[in-house]
Amino acid sequence: LPPPLGRRPPHCPPTPPPRLAPSLPVVLGQDKTEAIKGFRKAMVRTMTQANQIPHFCYCDEVDMTALVGLRGHLKAAAEAYGVRLSYMPFFIKAASIALSHYPILNASVDDKCENITYKASHNIGLAMDTSEGLVVPNVKGVQGLTLMEVAAELNRLQELGLRGSLSTRDITGGTFTISNIGSISGTYAKPVILPPEVAIGAVGKIQVLPRFDSSGNVVRAHIMQVSWSADHRVIDGATMANFSNMWKSFLENPSKMVLHLK
C-alpha cells in the first residue's frame, strides 16, 4: 500500500515532535518591563472578552482503559505511514461525532449575543504550548476526516507550532476547542471559552487508579478527568452533560466510534 497521506514511505518511523528547550532558572538583577506582543497580546484580547461570558463548568471522569489498549495497537500501524498517533485524534474525532448530535455546541455568537450561528464545519482547535506561548490552531473539517487524517494534521500543526511557523489560516476559524493539559501533567483544569466559540473542554493526564468493575471487584483502570466550560447564556447544563456523556461513551467503548467514522 502507498502511504495514504503522501508524507513518508511506509515503515519509516515518524519524526518525534520538536520539544520546547528545557529552561534554565532566570535571575533578574533588576526589574524589567517589556511590551506584551504576539500570541500573548492576542491572549490579552480574547481572554478579556471571555471574561464577559458567564461560564458554566461540568466535570466528569473517563475510563480510558480500552482506548489505551487500542491506541497501543494502532500506534505502530500509524507509524508505518509516518504518522504519530497520540490520544488527541481520538478526543477530537469523538468530539466531532458528538457535535453532530449537539450542533449548538459547534456554534458562535455575535458580540451582543443576539444571534447564534451553527457552524457547518467542525474546525476543532487544540490549545498548544509553543515556544511563543499559548496558541490555538484548529483541525479543519474534522467531520469528514479519518482518525489518521486528524492525526497527520495534528502532527503538522504541532511541528509548525513548536517552530513558531503556524499560518493565519491554521489559527483562525476554530469552532470548538479541546485543551490537553494532561500532556504536560495536570489532572484538572477549568478551561476558558475562546470567543466567539460557545464551548471548550480540558482533559487531564491519564492515571492508573483503582476502580470497581461491574462485579464489584477492584480493578486497575486508566482514568482521565475532563472539564467542559460552556457559555451559559446560550448553552444549558443538560446539553453540555449529554454531549459529554456521548463523547465519554465513544472513548470508553472506542469500537462504537467505528460506526460513525468517515
Alpha helix segments (H runs only) across 51-189? 65-79, 88-101, 147-162, 168-171
CA–CA distance, 18 with 170 (Å, rounded to integer): 18
Nearer to ligand CAO, 108 or 158 (CB): 158
Is 152 a binding residue for ligand CAO by CB under 6 A? The answer is no
* Site pattern 5..44 for ligand CAO (x: CB under 6 A): ------------x---------------------------
CB of 152 to ligand CAO, least distance (A): 12
The per-residue b/e assignment along 46-60, b for 16 or more CB within 10 angstroms, e otherwise, is beeebeebebbebee
Give the nearer residue to ligand CAO in terms of CB position, either 9 or 18. Answer: 18
**d(Cα 128, Cα 164) in Å, to the nearest integer?**
11
Greatest CA separation for the chain: 63
Question: Binding mask 88-127 vs ligand CAO (x if CB under 6 A, - otherwise)?
Answer: x-------------------------------------xx
When CB distances to ligand CAO are compared, the closest residue is 182
Q: Choose, from 101, 110, 111, 236, the residue flagged as catalytic.
A: 236
CB 60 within 8 A of CB 239: no
Q: How far is the CB of 193 from ligand CAO (least distance, A)?
A: 11
Residue among 82, 125, 174, 182 that touches ligand CAO (CB under 6 A): 182
Site for ligand CAO in 203-242 (CB under 6 A): 203, 205-206, 224
185: left (phi over 0), alpha (psi -120 to 50) or beta: left
Q: Are 225 and 246 in contact (CB under 8 A)?
A: no
128 binds ligand CAO (CB under 6 A): yes
> Annotated catalytic, 110?
no
Counting contacts by CB under 6 A, is residue 142 touching ligand CAO?
A: no
63 assigned to active site: no
What's phi and psi for 232, nearest 5 deg?
A: -75, -5
What is the rounded CA–CA span in Å between residue 157 and residue 89? 13
Residues forming the site for ligand CAO (CB under 6 A): 17, 86-88, 126-129, 134, 154, 158, 179-184, 203, 205-206, 224
Which residues are designated catalytic? 232, 236
